[in-house]
Structure 1
Amino acid sequence: MSLSANPPVFSETEKFDGTNFATFETLILVAASSRGVLGYLQGTILNPASPQNSADLRYTPIAPNIPLPDDPTPWYSTTPSGAEWAMRDAWARALLLYNTKNAIGLGLKLDGTAAEAWTSLTSQ
């Protein structure tokens, strides 16, 4: 199945303008679900490159051989590689940004994860 590389851009009347959240939310959830990135908005697909606790921050020697890259995972995978996670999370953030009028004025958080960006809109 071929998927567009870019997030969909809604019509001007469907973009979030501060007054139409119910419609916007439905469109975002459908678009994210159809692409397999809903878990990024919900925060259920975690960055595998991020340490989960301080014990993970200790020094670990690097293996002398160069590992082969992971096999690519499909977009709907809940276990992406770190690089895949970063790309898919950015796609989900772009979905929100491209479909929000005056993103800064409406409080869309752009400097974190897609889950943080989504929460910045849903918690208002």
Structure 2
Amino acid sequence: MEDTVVFEEPITAQKCSENLSSVEDAIYVIGGKWKLKIIIVLQENGNIRFNELQRSIQGISARVLSNELKDLELNGFVKRVVHADQIPVVVEYISTDYSRTLKPVIIALSQWGKTHKRKIKENF
């Protein structure tokens, strides 16, 4: 039996378009190979330095990590904290409160991924 989605109100073409637009916006901000991985590592580890973050995410280059962190900072998911009073200067990255609003989404994606993997294994 297929799972069905039950909507609280009838879906109109306008509502469908709005929903698609919202999903596109979300995917644009957190989509890609690395962004969710970075967000998850930051949420699990708290304050973390660049090299430690890079070691935590297997396969990401320093250049890509730097660019992704800049994008995440622009969108309010990551805060860059510079400790200029230390020698050498220490830069840490932390997840923001706004970033933590993604936690239910990440949990739902994780659960769906596990279910999907089981389903695919059952079919083969």
- More RCO (CA 8 Å, sep 6+): 1
Higher helix residue share: 2
Structure of greater Rg: 2
Whichever structure has more strand as a proportion of its residues is: 2
Would you say same fold, with TM above 0.5? no
Question: TM-score w.r.t. structure 2 length?
Answer: 0.31
